[in-house]
Amino acid sequence: MARLYSHKRGRSGSTRPLSKKTPTWCKYNAEEVEALVAKLAREGNNASTIGTILRDRHGIPLAKPIIGKTIHEVLKSSDAAPKIPEDLDTLMKKAERARRHLERNKADSIAKRSLALIESKIYRLVRYYKEEGVLPPQWEYKLMAASVV
């Protein structure tokens, strides 16, 4: 007989708050949170890292109910938003790591497939971001572009 929970993964991280309202116990106002976001962005953190730092160090469960806009919108208004979206940038770095691995291990067929899957995700995201106007229409993912980033 198979175990009941044989395919269950770990449960790291925390769950998002159920209520979208600002919690009564949160001691920060909108200006303070925006200043924290700007300070963390100047230190070189991306939007998801800023959200994690706000949650873990400052006790801010969600920034949007407090300031009325997302962390990415705050970064955009202060001209600190990255030129390439964060998820696309992460995938490009992942593809570059897989490519470097394949240069050292040419017979690793699993890594070849994984690189193909990663690059297909990149192409789909690029197509989506071009349609949404986030990336310019002439922007193109090149194999060496990931190493420059």
pLDDT in tens, the chain (149 residues): 455 555 566 666 667 777 778 878 888 888 999 999 999 999 989 999 999 999 889 988 888 989 989 999 999 888 888 888 999 999 999 999 999 999 999 999 999 999 999 999 999 999 999 999 999 999 998 875 443 33
Q: Is 13 exposed, middle or buried (0-12, 13-18, 19+ CB in 10 A)?
A: exposed
Tell me 132's DSSP state: H
Q: Which amino acid is at 105?
A: N
> What are residue 40's phi and psi, to 5 degrees?
-65, -35
- Residue 117 · residue 110 · CB < 8 Å: no
3-state secondary structure of 45: coil
How confident is the model at residue 39, as a pLDDT? 93
* Helix boundaries (H) for the chain: 30-42, 47-58, 64-67, 71-77, 86-104, 109-132, 145-148
How big is the CA angle at 106 (ends 100 and 111), to the nearest 5 degrees? 65
How confident is the model at residue 4, as a pLDDT? 56
Q: How far apart are CA 144 and CA 130, in angstroms?
A: 20
How confident is the model at residue 3, as a pLDDT? 54
- Residue 137 · residue 130 · CB < 8 Å: yes
| Dihedral of alpha carbons 74, 71, 62, 36, sign | negative
How confident is the model at residue 40, as a pLDDT? 93
How confident is the model at residue 147, as a pLDDT? 39
Q: Which amino acid is at 52?
A: T
